Amino acid sequence: MASIISIASGKGGVGKSVVAANLSVLLAQQGKQVVLADLDTGGADCHVLVGLLNPPLTLTDYLNHGVDRLIDVAQPLPIHPNLRIIPGTGDTLATANMPYAQKKRLIRQFQDIEADVIVVDIGAGCSYHTLDFFLMADYHVAVATPDPTSVLDLYRFIKLAAIRRVLSMFITRDVMAEGLANRDYSSVKEVLDVAGKTDTSGRTLAETTLQAFQPALILNRATGRARVNVSQLKALLKEYVGGNLMLLGEIPDDPAMEQAVRAYVPVVLHAPASPAAAALNRTTEALLQLLNNPSSKAA
Ligand SMILES: Nc1ncnc2c1ncn2[C@@H]1O[C@H](COP(=O)(O)OP(=O)(O)OP(=O)(O)O)[C@@H](O)[C@H]1O
Ligand SMILES: [Mg+2]
């Protein structure tokens, strides 16, 4: 079965799609069969970043039942023979706000995709759809820039993803847990306290689930002046969320990135010698190490 890597962020415009597109190309160059899936249902644009300006099929064709299987929407890309794309949707209000059952069906379809790796670009924000698409993956990657608002949104996103993960685990385990899930939570501690009251093993189970949640961080648009205190962020997440955050890569702010976007070609192909491309290569190496280490896969 394919390894699913989800790429998300709290704040929009931080570079999720360029990171997803470039990592997909580099993984394909490493011999992996890759599918780049665009699940940013509000602002799908990955296809443009890889040069497919008018995709003949998109996720809309699957969601509107014109195409039976999600994999049938995947299209080869001329930029690499190992790379296919599932172009996103968002052209209609219905597809941008798909009902719960449709989302479940879509998530299940990912299990049937034959590939080595599926890279999923997820929309910004903390809606249930965004969190559930993020959490369906085996490897969770969050992108942030050094901008303080981006770091705050990243913290909020990871906290809410952790809460959603614990609640989903309780729901699949026990119908009684509906009561647990039907409340609103602002902190992980609150969830743990309520989980502890549900049954005796509740708190331990919730804590184990949180510890197994180990999202990876890609810092984008880093400059000499604008950096993030990653150890402080890690400590904050450890204390208030529970899991470990791992720094997967740091990509510099680089005009070659913007030029590549304007040329509809991923920067690793458009300007392979650029600082951004070099950093994306290093990030892919770190990602391959994760993929080769089954213990780092989300439970
Ligand atoms: N490292 C970088 N250096 C310079 N410019 C960058 C860099 N990363 C991204 N950009 C610029 O930021 C723009 C937005 O990137 P991208 O579309 O990947 O963000 P996003 O997080 O996917 O946005 P959205 O939330 O709208 O989906 C790109 O078009 C590019 O011009
Ligand atoms: Mg995007």
Using one digit for the tens of pLDDT, what is the confidence trace for 122-137? 988 888 889 999 999 9
- Is residue 162 included in any domain, yes or no? no
Q: Which two tokens stand for residue 292?
A: 């080769």
Segment 236-255 mean pLDDT: 86
Residue 42 is predicted with a pLDDT of: 80
**Is 0.85 topped by the overall pTM?**
yes
Do the Cβ atoms of 47 and 87 come closer than 8 Å? Answer: yes
Provide the domain limits for residue 268. Answer: 3-145+216-229+247-296
pLDDT digits (tens, 9 = 90+) for 68-105: 999 999 999 999 999 999 999 867 676 777 888 889 99
Do the Cβ atoms of 212 and 243 come closer than 8 Å? Answer: yes
CA of 19 to the centre of ligand 1 (A): 8
- Is residue 34 included in any domain, yes or no? yes
Which ligand 1 atom sits closest to the C-alpha of 261?
29
Segment among 32-36, 154-158, 249-253 with least mean pLDDT: 154-158
Which ligand 1 atom sits closest to the C-alpha of 121?
22
Which ligand 1 atom sits closest to the C-alpha of 143?
21
Residue 245 is predicted with a pLDDT of: 87
CA of 173 to the centre of ligand 2 (A): 34
Backbone angles phi, psi at 58, to 5 degrees: -135, 175
* Alpha carbon 58 to chain centroid, angstroms: 19
Q: Which two tokens stand for residue 11?
A: 């704040």
- Is residue 30 included in any domain, yes or no? yes
Do the Cβ atoms of 20 and 7 come closer than 8 Å? Answer: yes
Identify the residues whose C-beta falls under 6 Å from ligand 1.
9, 12-18, 40, 43, 124, 220-221, 251, 253-254, 257-258, 261, 276
Q: Which two tokens stand for residue 195?
A: 């989980």
**Which strand (E) or helix (H) includes residue 173?**
helix 148-173
- Is residue 136 included in any domain, yes or no? yes
- Is residue 161 included in any domain, yes or no? no
* Alpha carbon 164 to chain centroid, angstroms: 15
- Is residue 178 included in any domain, yes or no? no
CATH number assigned to the domain comprising residue 132: 3.40.50.300
Output the 3-class SS for 90-104: CCCHHHHCCCHHHHH
* Residue to probe by mutation, ligand 1, list 9, 14, 16, 18, most atoms within 8 Å of CB: 18
Q: Is 37 helix (H, G, I), strand (E, B) or coil?
A: strand
Residue 226 is predicted with a pLDDT of: 62
* Alpha carbon 10 to chain centroid, angstroms: 11
Residue 289 is predicted with a pLDDT of: 95
CA of 12 to the centre of ligand 2 (A): 7
Q: How many domains does the chain have?
A: 1
Segment 179-188 mean pLDDT: 75
Residue 52 is predicted with a pLDDT of: 96
- Is residue 175 included in any domain, yes or no? no
- Is residue 155 included in any domain, yes or no? no
